[in-house]
Amino acid sequence: MTWNGHWHGFGPWVGPSSEYAKEDRRRPGRDPNDDQTRVFLTNTMTPVQTGHALLRRNQVSADRTWTDVEDALLWIRRTWNANPPGGDVLPLDQHLAYDRGHLSRGSDCALGYYSPGFTFVSYSVVCCPNHFFPHLPCPLPPR
């Protein structure tokens, strides 16, 4: 599979897993103007379907928009180090090798884990254009 595009970083969201479990807040509604969509657009939790993050235009920034996969991976590393996991998780370097392959082929990467303080940490790198949501416009083209 070949893919040509760029990436956007979203998050991190840090909070109780009980909030993260409220999936209705992590899904847009059927209508762009309904209450569920309005809640979704202001929410910072990783969407159930990561490509839907491209709808959150107000959460995209130039410093989290990359044309080089290594820059996206550096952001994952920095975000991980700023919000380290607690417990037994896949080591960061193995995670980054896995993410490099997937991002390079146009697959999104979402990370979610518990911190040492038992809060849940969630963030993602979303491919643009997105394989699963090709109709969603880019929220912020790269420079």
**Mind listing the pLDDT tens digit for each residue in 64-104?**
999 999 999 999 999 999 999 998 899 999 999 999 999 99
Average pLDDT (36-56) is: 97
118: left (phi over 0), alpha (psi -120 to 50) or beta: left
**Secondary structure of the chain: what % helix, strand, coil (to 5)?**
40, 20, 45
The answer to whether 142 and 65 have CB atoms below 8 angstroms apart is yes
State the sign of the Cα–Cα–Cα–Cα dihedral 37, 43, 48, 50. positive
d(CA 42, CA 129): 22
List pLDDT tens digits, range 120-140: 999 999 999 999 999 999 999
Residue the block writes with tokens 């595009």: 5
Residue 2 pLDDT: 75
* pLDDT at 20 > cutoff 90: yes
Closest CA to 105 of 9, 26, 2: 2
Q: How many helices (H) and strands (E) does the chain have?
A: 4, 4
